[in-house]
A and B are shown apart, each in its own frame.
Chain A
Amino acid sequence: MQLEYIGLKGITGPLIILEGISGVAYDELVEIQVDGCDMRLGKVVEISEEHTIVQVFEGTQNLSLDNTKTRFLGHPLELPLSKEILGRVFDGVGRPKDNLGDVYPHVRWDINGKPINPVSRKYPRNYINTGISSIDGLTTLIRGQKLPIFSGNGLPHDALTEQIVRQAKLPSENESNFAIVFAAMGVSYEVAETFKNSFEQSGVMQKVVMFVNLSNDPTTERIITPRCALTAAEYMAYELEMHVLVILTDMSAYCEALRELSSSRGEIPSRKGFPGYMYSDLTSIYERAGMVKEKNGSITQIPILTMPSDDITHPIPDLTGYITEGQIVLDRNLHQKGIYPPINILPSLSRLVKDGTGKGITREDHGACARQLFASYSKVQEVRSLSSVIGEDELNNIDKLYMEFGRSFEKEFVSQGIDEDRTMEQTLNTGWKILGILPKEELDRIDTKILDKYYPDK
């Protein structure tokens, strides 16, 4: 029997404290009724024989020490799942938000998920063609990968993500067995709507599941949102064997919610007030990407985070970068030069690129071409800083070529239209065309055979 407890012992921030309760499990789901009508959800975050601490997802506004009835539901937060979730919109804790009624569940899964046994994982090898040169050519996205976009406020990360969603396809297979899970955490109404419109326009809305926690929704709800989204993704990947692309935006808002919660619990902070367990907490989200041997489905994650003051060493991007398999970094200078997408390729990286590209998959010269573009563009930065001191006219001839290479690279390779869908061939050929600006001797990262075959004749 489920007991109801009337009243509370204390309230701090999003936490409520109860006393004299027995038979409550760690992480258990809690229903709190306020003033006999307003129903809120929470979970047990700390228990001892003396007291029980519950985190209320919707916040503790209007709660008093005696106007609540608390009920412990005997299980952790579970998400009702069935095929019908496709095309639906849910709130941050997985309740329908689109007035289409409840989901009749096929199963209910614990939103916390479980770690995947590394023995059972399947190493990601299939690349996803996004039609964006700087991603396909240099930081290739692989199915089953977690590849975040590190952005800043005001940069076009949303437009880029929408373009990826519109254009993403697998070159090897011709299947429609894909789905998109979109989780919004603390984003503005406009951002969420733009995404929704973009899904509708490209006709994929029936393949999308949305979990939306807007910036004016309760902060603590955000802790739950990505977990609901990933549970839905796991259901589709491992039960329905679909290929799922999960977009999580904005992870910075998630981390800030985590910090808020931690500080109201009086925990010892580590860097910039973020809790010491933030790494472990983030891995419990990011590591849910991947593929397993027994199933055909896959989960690919594109988390988006805005770097506070564009600082890549801030704990949020820093810890994310340590967990994810690479990162795509957007750059304000490029954006201000009018380059879209403003991807700064130097700090960008895809760790799985070596196994998902090359001979037989993309083209034999892919690795060499990419390596050389990276190396030469990195040299461009040195030359630019020199030219800002002595002026471009004073540069020697080779350095002048590097300046030209840098400009063409940004203008022709990185920059492309918001609807421009390039093939891998186009991307690599453009790469070689630009490398052709430099004399052959400068291309020192390429095997002679490949160089002779692909270096453009003048």
Chain B
Amino acid sequence: MLRSTDEIIADLKAGKCHSFTGGVHPPDEKSLSNTTNIQTLPLPDKIILPLRQHIGTEGSICVAEGEHVKKGQALTKSSHPYAVPIHASTSGIVREITRHVVAHPSGLSEDCIIIEPDGLDEWVKLTPIPHFQTLPQQTVVEAICDAGVAGMGGAGFPTHIKTGNNKTIEFLIINGAECEPYITSDDRLMQEHAWQIRQGIDVLHHLISPTAVVIAIEDNKPDAIKALKIACQDKPEYLVVAVETKYPAGGEKQLIQMLTQREVPRHGLPADVGVLMFNVGTCFAVAGAIYEGKPLVERVVTVTGRAVEQPGNYWARLGTPVSHLLNHATYQVKKQSAPQIVMGGPMMGFTLSSMAVPIVKISNCLLAPAKGEASLNEHERACIRCGACADVCPASLLPQQIFWHAKAKELDKAQAYDLFDCIECGACAYVCPSEIPLVHYYRQAKAEIRLEKEEKSRAEKAKERFEARNARLIREKQEREERHQKAKAAREAAIANKSKAATVDSNDAKDKVAAALARAKAKKAAQQPESDVPAALDTQADKKAQVAAAIARAKAKKEAAQANDTNEILPEDERKAKVAAAVARAKAKKEAAQTNDTNEITTEDERKAKVAAAVARAKAKKEAAQANDTNEISAEDERKAKVAAAVARAKAKKEAAQANDTNEISAEDEGKAKVAAAVARAKAKKQQAAESSSSDGPADANNLISKNVDFSSAEEQSHHDDEKRKRIAAAVAKAKAKQAAKKDNNETE
């Protein structure tokens, strides 16, 4: 439950201040640098102005190399709500716009504008608006933005964004806590320029209209408190409050807790609890921008540590190299155990990788610790779970648990212990007796988690794309199939209609189709053998193809015969038919010969083989004679028949020889051999009738060999049908096939 605004104001007026959990009390070492006035510095040899000096994005460059610029001239334009411009911090020539090492823990390089000062330090024409109360708010906010004001306390959040907040603000808190040890820049600024800070508060008060303004200063800065109390004495709603000196009291959340006992919600902003906070340095800069029209071109930097002989505060132009400041404070590198410069305070600052790093809007301190003044992380020991870190954590985390999980790379568990609520104040590492650089582990774990998240989101996007693509492909395929289906249905309907109209039985139509298919097949297969026969006969593969072709042919014949019966056959040339019949016979002979020895009768004697061969020969002769008898027999046909006969003979011989060679020869009587031969003959006849069980394959008019014929089935079927008729039919079919083949051949040629 939030305490009411009035209660809080009453408490603050009474000087009652609360505390926050945890916190540490490191030696403040402020007296090193807070006793002398803020000094000015001579102009450096060059000014290096990073385009981005704050949280947010950089503006667009509006000067060119070689251009002369005046002090206060804008170098970049704000092209984005989160961009604030940067300004030349002295007059001179823009020498280069290039990448230069900047103030970053990792020693990164960023785009910088490098100015060579002309020594005149000449201001651009300024346009102050001291009568800001009479102007529209928007004009004032724009003036603040154009002056390049960003939070000077450390994070560098663009000031105009905060002032443009539309939530009701009860407390405008001005942060002058400066809880980091060593740093005294705000302290000196408050002591010396309290009035200008007060002016800046006036501007912010006008823009935000809070119920109360609270100026919070740690009680170790009594002079600053006094100065601001004097500056604000005419304004009763401006409360100057001394808060407990405890690190990190200057942390936004902690200071809010100390003053109002309110906690900023986990993913929220101070405005969610009615609070807005500005650093005193920011107020100073706002006053400069409004009352003098001066953009932010310089800031107070504390140069301290026991390795500098003249620690103190300096007005440093933005872009001044760190080395320039250190030289003027007489930095003694030999006083350090190793050269080391910390930018920022000893608790949250980072070590610089180069002395050429320029001062930017958020650089409040340069610390050069002497030997023994700072600790190097060298002696890390095992965590003894003493819990000292948990005792000092201002966010009430359990640093030892987060450390344990972060070290073990159990990032989900580290997150479950609220890793991301860590403000990296360093209090835990400060007290750790095992000298574990805890903050370092947390930063690493956070970076890894962010990286992991990025990768995950990238992978998810890729997955989405992939899935969308797959869905699209499937959809397209389905659409295509639907179209096909429709087309098919339409086609079928059309066919059905046609057959009906012709009053032909659908079975007839089917038969016709089948016959046509068989014919086509026969044609197709016939193309080859006409030219390849001699070669084809030699190889087993060709033989097989031929076998298949024979079967197909037989089928075609049969169908042709059927077709003949249905009067659809065209008159055929008799000679052709005879030739075909001869070929078929030759083939049948060959099969007969083969059947003899492939029948798995375990043994065959030579005589039997000879008989078979003789039978085949005789058949071949007879067929040749038959072919001879025809008048117009083509030379080709004759030759083919002879070749076939010869092949059959050769094969028969070969097989006979083979049979001879086998060891398992047993006696067979001659009679059996004769019977076999007779059966084979019968089968051959049958074959002519073109009975076949095989289905399809390329047809071959010249095929002579078939393996697939079953012995017994040939015998059975020999009793069937009128042989003559069959022969005629077969011949017709074959002739037809041949003719088709020839025609096909011509077409393809």
Q: Do A and B come from one complex?
A: no
